[in-house]
Amino acid sequence: MRSALVLGAGVMGLSAAWALSRAGWAVRVVDQDPVPNPRGSSVDDHRLIRHAYGAALGYMRMIDPAHAAWDLLFAEAGERPYVPTGVLALANAPGGWLAESQAALRADGHAVQALGAETVAARYPWLSPDGIASAFHLPSGGVLLARRIVELLARQLAGRGIDIRRGHALSVDPARGAVTLADGTRLQADLLVVAAGPWAPRLLPALAARVRPTRQIIVRLVPPPAHSEGWRTAPMLLDLAEDGGFYAVPPVAGTPLKIGDHRFAPTSDPDAPREASPAEAEAILHLARHRIRDLESYRVLSAAACYYDVEPGERFVVERLGERAFVMSGFSGHGFKFGALLGLALARAAGDATLAMGLPGWAAGATPPPPGLLADLEQGSLA
């Protein structure tokens, strides 16, 4: 049996391990922290999945297979940690991402509905209509319960007898499919998958020229009683502004309301503390005050930093490193939604050189998937 070693136990590493096991590989996983990793990019209450993607048609068209990949995993696990919410997108100027999204969605037959500012205020009275130049509602899309999904993946791997080992990687040797740990242990396999999130550029010097670790702040809140029920059934909110927009995730399935910044901070050290300073939290709240009425009446639960690995065009880097290794990187804040899908695709490509050649362009949202790359979804197979 072919052996695979996966470095990193975030959503990408765990998804790759799950998919490789389904494809018949003997898999081991290594991570520097416990799973779920409290410092990992994947470990939070929620991540969003939506078809709206501006002019990025490749990623918009990857959403349906992404849903199918999650459905495959959830069916195997007997659990569905996903809450459909739909999408409400607002902008304070015409054109741009919102207009590009509407055009792309309509061209592909999605039921997107344009809204006026007063309609937004009437439907969602906790939001202010001030400054809304354009808006739309999309019924598809929802919240992936991220921490529960990471836990689910870890359980699935345990059920398959897959070891998740604690260990801090000092170096990787893609040519030999090997990882050297801080305690001197050298692990080796027929296939190495480097899915180390914001730590990956440290381990792969060539990747550091393309991908950088960055810091983003999120704030968790409790709405006041007058708006708690409205928020509980609200769509995800994308508020786009030229001077800094924000997103809001509704408090579904017992999670808090979360708001965050669309922008990425300068390159940061992924080993830095995850606590956010009061000034950082205030900066996020400031972005939302113009849109969320009476934000001062919301109770702030906590604020934290998330570290992501970001490619300049926010294009995913999923490609071979020689004959015995793959790298999975550059996922910024929007990679989680594709975790199960990219894991399945990588497992197919690992056993087929032709598919491996077509994987990078598809993962970057630039080309259609080569025939056979998504065969697990086309067959609806359960291994």
Integer Cα distance of 376 and 383 in angstroms: 9
Q: Note down pLDDT in tens along the chain; length 383 residues.
A: 999 999 999 999 999 999 999 999 999 999 999 888 888 877 789 999 999 999 999 999 999 999 999 999 999 999 999 999 999 999 999 999 999 999 999 999 999 999 999 999 999 999 999 999 999 999 999 999 999 999 999 999 999 999 899 999 999 999 999 999 999 999 999 999 999 999 999 999 999 999 999 989 999 999 999 999 999 999 999 999 876 789 999 999 999 999 998 777 777 888 888 888 999 999 999 999 999 999 999 999 999 988 999 999 999 999 999 999 999 999 998 999 999 999 999 999 999 999 999 999 999 999 999 999 999 998 644 44
228-240 burial: b if 16+ Cβ within 10 Å, else e: eeebeebbbbbbb
Starting at the earlier edge strand, list the strands of the sheet with 178-181.
169-173, 178-181, 186-188
What token pair was written down for 96? Answer: 């741009």
Report the candidate in 212, 211, 194, 269 with the shortest Cα–Cα distance to residue 31. 194
SS3 label, residue 325: strand
Question: How is the beta sheet containing 246-249 ordered, strand by strand?
Answer: 113-115, 134-138, 87-91, 236-240, 246-249, 257-261, 212-222, 299-310
Q: pTM above the 0.85 mark?
A: yes
For 66, residues 6+ apart whose C-beta sits below 8 A from its C-beta are 49, 337, 338, 340, 341
Phi and psi at residue 274, to the nearest 5°: -90, -10
Residue (of 45, 42, 48) closest to 246 by Cα position: 48
What is the set of domains in the chain, with CATH numbers? 1-83+143-211+311-383 (3.50.50.60), 87-139+213-309 (3.30.9.10)
> Cis peptide leading into 36, omega within 30 of 0?
yes
Q: What is the DSSP letter of 354?
A: H
